[in-house]
Amino acid sequence: PLTHSPTHPLTHSPTDPDRRPSIPQYINGILASKMTDGCTVMSSSNNYISVGNAGTTYSASNAINRGFVADLQLWKIARTQNQIRESIWSHPDGKNPDLVGYYPNNNLNDESVSGNNLANGGSASRNMKFNRQNEMYRTKSFDLYGTISAMSVTSGVCNTQSITFTQSTTRLNDAMMIGFAPDGECSNQARLFRATLTSSATQNVNFAGGALGTYKLCYSQDAGVTWVQQTPQYTLAEDMTTSVVTVPTQIATTTHQVNIASKMGGADHEITCDQKFVCTYSNGLSGTVDAVKVGTNLYRCTKSITTKGTAYSVAVQINGQHVSGSPVNNFVVNPGPTLASQTAIDAVWDDNLVAGATRVFNIVAKDQFGNVRTSNTDTVVLTVHHKTDGSVTDLVVNPVGNHATLPGTYTASFTRTVTGAYDITVTMNGNAVPGSPSTLTVTPAVLNAAKCTVSGETTADTAGTGNLIDLISRDQYENLRTAGSDTFKAHFTPLTTGSAFETTSTHLSGQTYRFSTTINVAQSYTLKITDNGGVNHVTGSPFTLVVSPGPTTAGQSSLTGGNSVIAGVDIDYTIQARDANNNLQNGHSDTFVITTAHNTAAGVNAPYTLTNNAGQGSYRLRVTPTVAGPYTIAVTFGGNPISGSSITLTCSPAATTVSKTVVYSGELLHNRAGRNGVVFVQARDNFENNRTVTGDTVTLQLVHRTIGSTTVNANVVGDGSAPGRYIATYNATVAGAYDATLQIGGVSVPDSPYFVSITHNVAIPGNSFHDGYVPLTQEAGTTTAALGHIQPIDRYGNNVTAQTFDCSLHVPGTTTKYLTKANFVNFPRSTISESFWSRTSAASGVLGISFSGGATGANRFVAANAKRINVCIQNTCQQKSTDSNFDDNKWHFITIQWRNNDGQMQVYDGHTLIFSPTLAQGQQIGASGDLVLGQEQDCKGGCFVAGEALNGFIDDVSLWSKFRTLNEIKSAMFTPLTLTDTDLVAFYSFDECSGTTIQDHVGSNHLTSVGGNNLVASCAFDFIQQPTSWAHRPNFPFPQTKWTISMWAYKQGGQTPISYGTANNANEMIFFYNNNQWTIFIRGQGVPTGIAMPANTWQFLTVTWNSVGGVLKLFTDGTERYSGTGIQSGQSFEQGGTVVLGQEQDSLGGDFTPNQGWLGRVAQVSMWNTDLPISDIKSIMHKQLSGDEPNLMFYFPLDECAGNMAYDASPNRFDFGYEQPKWGAGPTISASGAQRYSVTSDNTMATTPSTAISKAPLGASTVSAMRTTIARTYTLSLLDKGNNDAAVPNSPYVITTNPTSVNAGESTVSGAGL
C-alpha cells in the first residue's frame, strides 16, 4: 500500500512475518495491512538477500525499487508494535543477538554480529547519511534526477531567506540538502533545513536563532557527500547593550535569579537574531549561564547558589559586551529556611550516660544547603523516651538559643536516673534532625549495697542440697548493675552448734551474683550479706536462716524394734526419718512403704498402723500380727530399704481358744466296733493359729445313747510330730449311736457333743447264731414254717447288718451311665424329703435323684449344681445366691425337703441348714414319672445333657413322704434306718456291689443300672489323672523276714505300683511290670515271673515272701500264678526306708523316672508281717478288713476319697501322705459273702439245699421252710461258708419224719397168699 507521499517523502515501513501465521505491515509505526495466507517456515538458512532487486541477479525487469532504501534491518524475531515504533528514530545496537543483518547503506557492510555483507549488484548510487543536528534525525539516499538551475536568497535581518530552485519536471518532489554555514564551513554539520522542491518554486525558510555573524548558503545534491557554497553572504547583527541587569537579595537556592530587561537603544526590544545574554559569576562563584526569556523583554539567568554569602559578583554580557549595571558586585545570598534534615548537633549526644549524670550538647540550625541560620526563631524540642520501660516518664526539653553569641545554635541538657536504652529525639520545627531518633544507653551508677536485693535461701534452706542465694546489684537509683565487677560477702553464724563461715559471691550474668555453699547441719543461722568491705548491708540483711533437713533417704533412715510377739499383741517399732546428712526430719510428711508379709503363708500380712511420735521425724509402727509364724517387717522409702529394715518377727500363737479349736477325723462321725478311732484335736488360739505347745487338758468321752452305762473314754496324748496337736484314741466295741463330748479345760469345743455312729465289725466265722425253730419231728408231706434267720455276729457280739463292702454309686459325668426306675410307684406329691451322701469336684451336675413325668414335667423334682445348689419343684426353681461348696470333693450328707402347704424348702449340709427358700406353694408333684440317679431328665426317662450329669459319687439314698426334723436328719446320717417306717418311701444302700439291679430295701422300686456296673466299694489312688503324684510313708519298719502285700490294681500303662527303698538300696522291694510281665525285686534282685496283667481292668494282686527258703509267690484274683524258691534265702529286709505308691525310687524317697511310674490306680492296699496262705488271700479279697486282724501292718480302705492323706485303718497308724493328689473310683468288687450260708442234709431230703437260704435285707439270712415226705430220721446242717463250712451254732439238727395218716391210695398189700 505504499504510495508516494508529498509530505513524507521517506516512509518508515517494516514488515514482520511470524508463524501466527500472518505478515503484518506497518507504516510509520501504524499497522497498515496483514496477509494471513501462504506463511510457511523457510526451508533453509542458506538463502540470498537482495536489496532493490527481485532475484539473485540484477535485471531491469527485476528492479522493483524506484526510490530510496535506508536503514535496512533484518531481525530473527517478530517485533511488537511498540518495539517498531521505538526503532523509527533510533540507531539499533549491532550487537543485539536478535539482529542478524544491519545495513546503514553508507557501505555494503553488515554492522550486525552476523557479518552478512552485501555485494553491489548494479550501478545505482548507494550513499547513506546520518544527521543528528538541532534535534533532527534524517537519513536520506539520493538517486537524483534533474539539476538545480538557479538559487537566490532574499536579503533580510536574521529572519527569513527566500531561495528559488529550478527543477526539471520529470522528477518532482525530490529533495536536496540546503543550509547556512559560516564561510568555508559547509558540511553535514551546517544548520540545515529541508525544502520541498517544486518546479520553479520559491521556498521561504525561517533562519531564526542563529548567532550574530556572517553566513553563506550551502546545498548538496548527493545526500551530503558533496557540498556547494554560494557566494552571497548574509549578516546577523543587533545592539542590546542597553539592557539592564538586577540581582535582588535572595536566600540560598538552586534557582538564584539574575534578571535582565532587554533593551536596544534604551528602548525595550526583543532579541530577533541568534544572540543571547550570558551571565558570568565570580567572587566565590564560577561558571556562565545563558539567559532565558521569561517574559516580554525579560530574560533571566538561573544558577544554583546554595552557599550563603555577601560578596558574590555576576557579569551579564550579550555578544561579548556588558549590559547596563554589569557587573553586579557584593550581592547577598542569605541562609534559607531551617531544614531539620540539615540541622547538626555539635557534640556526642547519644553516647552512654551514667545514671544521674547530665548530658549537654548544642543543636545548630541549618538550611537545606547546610548554611547555619543566623537567627534563633526555630522551635526545637528534645524528647528522651525509655524504649522498654513504659513506666519511665518521657523527658521533654525546649532548648534555648543564644543569638548574641551563637546565632542559630540551641543548647540542650538532660539527666536520666533509670538505666536502659532511650530513644532521643530532637525535632526542628516539628521534624527530626539527622541522627534523630537515636538510642542512648544509660548505664548504672556506682554500687549502693543498701539498694541491692537478694533472693533464694536467705531464710530457709534444706541441708545438703546447696544453699543458693542470688544477689541483684544496684546503684543508688536502684538500677541493675550489669558490669559484673562487684564483690559481695555472705557470713553464716550458727545459733546452735558449729563455727561461723563465710563465702564470697560469684558473678553469674549481668547484675546477678550468687552465693553458693552447702550447709549440712540443720539448724538456724544468722546470715549477713554485705559489700566487699563487710560494712554496708544489702536490703534485709542480717537474715535469720533456718536450714531444714534434706529429703529423707533410705540409707540414713532407720527401723528399730523387737523380733518376737504373741498373736494379737501389739509390737511397736520406731522409724526415724533422716536426710542424707543424718539430720532428723522435723516433720512427718514422708511416705514409708511398710511390708509385714508372712514368710510362709502366702498373701498374709500383719495389720499395722503408722502414727507420728512426739519427737521430730519419728514414727511409731505398731504391728499386730494375728497369724502365727515368721514375718518380715520391711520398711522402704523411695523403693529402697531403710537401715535396719527386714526384721524377722516371730509371732507365736496366743493362748488356746476353745471356740477356735479344730477337730478332724472321720472317726468322730462313724467307726467300727473294736477299731481304734483316732481323733485329731488341733488347739488354736483366738486367731485360729495352731498352738505349737501342748499342755491343755483335752478329754474325749463317748456315751452310748441307748445304753447309758456304756461309756468310752479316749486316751489323749500330744502329737509329737505336730506340737499343739492332740491325738485322742478311743475304742468302742458296742455298736450304736454315741454322743462324743470333746472338751479342752472343761469347755466343749464347737459342735460338741458329736454324734458318732459305731457300726458292727466284720462277721466272725463260727460266731453266727440261728434264731429260728427247727422241729425235731414232723409228718411226712407237711411243710414247716420258715425256720428263722441265721444272724452273723462280729467278735464283739454285734449283729452284722451290712454286706462285706459298703459300696456307692459312681457316675463319671457322661450321659451313658446311670440308674433308673421307670414309672416309680407312690412318689411323694405334697411333702418330700430326700437324703443322700454325695462327693463331687464338679461345680455343675445333678445332685440326688431326678423325677420327671414328661416333656412338660421334666423337672418335677430335681436338685443340681454343687457350687450353688438349685432346686426345682414342678419346673419352678430356686438357686442359692452364695456358694454351697458341695464341689469340694468331700463327702457331704445332703438333705433336701419341701412341703406344699407353705412352700417351705430346706437344704441341709449334714445337720446345718444352708438354704431355705419358699418354692411352689400350694402345688403338687406329678403323680407318675421316672426316677433317675446320676442324670437330670429333660424329658421323661431321658434327654440327658453331659454338663448336667453327676460327676462323682452318691450313696445311701433315702426318700421320705414327710418333712423331717433336724434330729431325724441327724439320726439318719449314720444309724441304720428302720425299714418299716411308714414314711420311708424308698432306700438304696448300693451294697450289692455287683450286678445291674439295685434293690429298694423298702418297696419294689428297684433300680436298673444302665451302662454297666456303676457300683464301687472304695476310692483309689489315681495315677492316671496325675502321673507325677505319689503316696509315701517314710521311716517304715518293713517286715524283715516274711511279708505279704495285697492290693487291687488297675493298669493302663506304667511299671511300678509300689516300691520300698532305703538309703543303701533304692530297689529293696519293687513290684515292677516290664516286658509284659511282673518282675518282683527282693533286696535288689529282680525276679521275672512271666505273669502278665490285663490292661484296663481291676485285678487283685498279692505277693508273699519268706526268708526261710527264699520262697516268693505271686497271686492274681486269689489264684497262685508263680512260685519260686531260693530268692534271697536267709536275708533280712533293711528297715527305716520309704514305702512309695505309684513311683519307682532311684534314691531314698525320690529321683523318680517318669516312664517307671504307675499309669493306673491302686486300692485296698494292705501289708502283713507274715506270708498269708491262699485261703486267707481269698478271704481278704472280697471283704473290708476290720483293721485289727492279726499280723496286719497297715490297711488302706481309701474311703477318704479326697485330700492329701490316706489313713491307715490298722492300730499302727502308718498313714501315707499323698503328693499332688488325684482320687478315682475304686474297684467294683463282687461280695462273695452275699450268700454266706448253706443247708446240707443227707441225700434223701426232699428240699434242694441250694435254695434253702435267702439273703435278708440288711445282712441276716433267712432259712426257708422245709418239707419232707419220707418217714425217717434226717440230719439238717446250717453251714457258715465264711468259716470253711463250719456248722452254725446248734447245727446240725436231727429231724424225724413220721408217716402221716393212712392213705388208702398209698397203702399196699403184700403177701404170697394174696
| Low-confidence winner among 500-509, 876-885, 1275-1284 (lowest mean pLDDT) | 1275-1284
Please report the pLDDT score of residue 895 as a whole number: 95
Report whether 833 contacts 963 (CB < 8 A): yes
Would the pLDDT of 97 be above 70? yes
Dihedrals phi, psi of 150, to nearest 5 degrees: -160, 155
Please report the pLDDT score of residue 175 as a whole number: 47
> In this structure, which amino acid lies at residue 296?
T
Q: What is the mean pLDDT of residues 68-86?
A: 77
Residue ranges of the alpha helices (H) in 740-828?
none
Convert the pLDDT of each residue in 700-715 to its tens digit: 999 998 887 889 998 9
DSSP string, 503-553: EE-EEEETTEEEEEE---S-SEEEEEEEETTS-SBPTT-SEEEEEE--SB-
Report whether 887 contacts 976 (CB < 8 A): no
The residue among 861 and 856 whose pLDDT is bigger is 861
Produce one character per residue of 418-442: b if its CB has 16 or more CB atoms within 10 Å, e if not.
Answer: ebbebbbbbbbeeebbeebbbebeb
The residue among 122 and 35 whose pLDDT is bigger is 35
Would the pLDDT of 471 be above 90? yes
> In this structure, which amino acid lies at residue 552?
T
Cell of 1271: 418217714
Selection from 594, 490, 483 nearest residue 540 by Cα: 490
3-class state of residue 669 by DSSP: coil
Report whether 1220 contacts 1028 (CB < 8 A): yes
Query: What is the overall mean pLDDT for the chain?
Result: 81
Q: What is the mean pLDDT of residues 1244-1269?
A: 50
Convert the pLDDT of each residue in 657-711 to its tens digit: 999 888 876 667 777 788 778 888 989 999 989 898 888 999 999 999 888 788 9
Please report the pLDDT score of residue 8 as a whole number: 38
Please report the pLDDT score of residue 206 as a whole number: 46
Return d(Cα 1025, Cα 593) in angstroms, integer.
45
The residue among 133 and 1057 whose pLDDT is bigger is 1057
What is the CA angle 641-644-645, rounded to 5?
40
Please report the pLDDT score of residue 1032 as a whole number: 93
Convert the pLDDT of each residue in 1085-1142 to its tens digit: 999 999 999 999 999 999 999 999 999 999 999 999 999 999 999 999 999 999 999 9
Please report the pLDDT score of residue 453 as a whole number: 94
What is the pairing mode between strands 1293-1298 and 777-779? parallel
Please report the pLDDT score of residue 702 as a whole number: 93
Cell of 364: 545548630
Please report the pLDDT score of residue 1199 as a whole number: 73
Would the pLDDT of 1272 be above 60? yes
Q: What is the mean pLDDT of residues 292-298?
A: 92
With 0-12 CB in 10 A as exposed, 13-18 as middle and 19+ as buried, what is 1174? middle
3-class state of residue 885 by DSSP: coil
Please report the pLDDT score of residue 302 as a whole number: 94
Please report the pLDDT score of residue 139 as a whole number: 28
Convert the pLDDT of each residue in 9-68 to its tens digit: 445 566 655 444 567 777 767 777 777 655 555 555 566 677 766 666 655 555 555 556
Convert the pLDDT of each residue in 218-242 to its tens digit: 666 555 666 677 666 655 556 778 8
Whether the bond between 437 and the residue before it is cis, its omega within 30 degrees of 0, is yes
- Please name the residue that has the C-alpha cell 547519511: 129
Cell of 488: 559481695
Convert the pLDDT of each residue in 408-437 to its tens digit: 888 888 888 988 888 888 988 889 998 888
Please report the pLDDT score of residue 126 as a whole number: 35
Would the pLDDT of 86 be above 50? yes
User: pLDDT band for position 379 (50/70/90)?
Assistant: confident
Please report the pLDDT score of residue 766 as a whole number: 63
Cα→Cα distances 1085→149, 252, 1125, 1164, Å: 171, 146, 13, 27
With 0-12 CB in 10 A as exposed, 13-18 as middle and 19+ as buried, what is 248? exposed
Please report the pLDDT score of residue 1260 as a whole number: 54
Top-confidence range, 279-293, 369-383, 992-1006: 279-293
Convert the pLDDT of each residue in 805-845 to its tens digit: 567 788 888 888 899 999 999 999 999 999 998 888 888 88
Report whether 1247 contacts 1267 (CB < 8 A): yes
Q: What is the mean pLDDT of residues 1020-1049?
A: 92
Q: What is the mean pLDDT of residues 127-145?
A: 28
Please report the pLDDT score of residue 202 as a whole number: 47
Convert the pLDDT of each residue in 477-515 to its tens digit: 999 898 899 999 999 999 998 999 999 999 999 899 999
DSSP string, 293-307: EEETTEEEEEEEE-S
Would the pLDDT of 208 be above 90? no
Please report the pLDDT score of residue 629 as a whole number: 92
Please report the pLDDT score of residue 2 as a whole number: 39
Q: What is the mean pLDDT of residues 285-309?
A: 92
| Low-confidence winner among 1030-1039, 1102-1111, 1292-1301 (lowest mean pLDDT) | 1292-1301
User: pLDDT band for position 166 (50/70/90)?
Assistant: very low
User: pLDDT band for position 1056 (50/70/90)?
Assistant: very high
Please report the pLDDT score of residue 346 as a whole number: 79
Q: What is the mean pLDDT of residues 649-656?
A: 94
The residue among 1211 and 1230 whose pLDDT is bigger is 1211
Give the H/E segment covering residue 147. none
> In this structure, which amino acid lies at residue 320?
G
Please report the pLDDT score of residue 1243 as a whole number: 44
Would the pLDDT of 1245 be above 80? no
Dihedrals phi, psi of 973, to nearest 5 degrees: -65, -45
Dihedrals phi, psi of 1179, to nearest 5 degrees: -65, -40
Give the H/E segment covering residue 912. strand 912-915
User: pLDDT band for position 536 (50/70/90)?
Assistant: very high
Please report the pLDDT score of residue 499 as a whole number: 93
Largest CA distance in the chain: 241
Selection from 795, 803, 806, 807 nearest residue 673 by Cα: 795
The residue among 115 and 503 whose pLDDT is bigger is 503
Residue 609: count of CB within 10 angstroms of its CB: 12
3-class state of residue 1154 by DSSP: helix
Convert the pLDDT of each residue in 565-591 to its tens digit: 999 999 999 999 999 999 998 888 889
Please report the pLDDT score of residue 209 as a whole number: 42
Cell of 509: 550474668
The residue among 1267 and 210 whose pLDDT is bigger is 1267
Would the pLDDT of 1227 be above 60? yes
